[in-house]
Amino acid sequence: SGDHYTYLIRSMWSHCLMTFQKVNPLLAPDTVAPYCDCLVDEARSYFKFVDYATSKNTNEKFSEFAETCVQRLGVIVAPTDAR
């Protein structure tokens, strides 16, 4: 949804990049960026801003988003903690 603040989008994207690089340190940021873009886009499509604080299945949904992005982009190894 369009109600996400820029700082939240930037924070989610940065967390994704740092987590991915921690798990896969040899992958260049240019390789990881499309995956993180996808993950943030999936989250924004599913959640409204207020949902992050109240949803009980946020971690599960981010795992689903991660799998969706892996399949869509053909990323070989995705982090297991890209939340």
Which two tokens mark 72?
A: 């869509």
The confidence score (pLDDT) of residue 11 equals 93
Residue 20 in contact with residue 75, Cβ under 8 Å?
no
Greater confidence (76 vs 26) lies with: 26
pLDDT at 31: 81
Q: Are 36 and 16 in contact (CB under 8 A)?
A: yes
Query: Do the Cβ atoms of 1 and 45 come closer than 8 Å?
Result: yes
Question: pLDDT at position 82, please?
Answer: 44
Strands, E assignment, 1-83: none
**Contacts of 2 by beta carbon, 8 Å cutoff, 6+ apart:** 44
Average pLDDT, the chain: 84
Tens of pLDDT, residues 20-55: 888 888 888 888 899 999 999 999 999 888 888 788
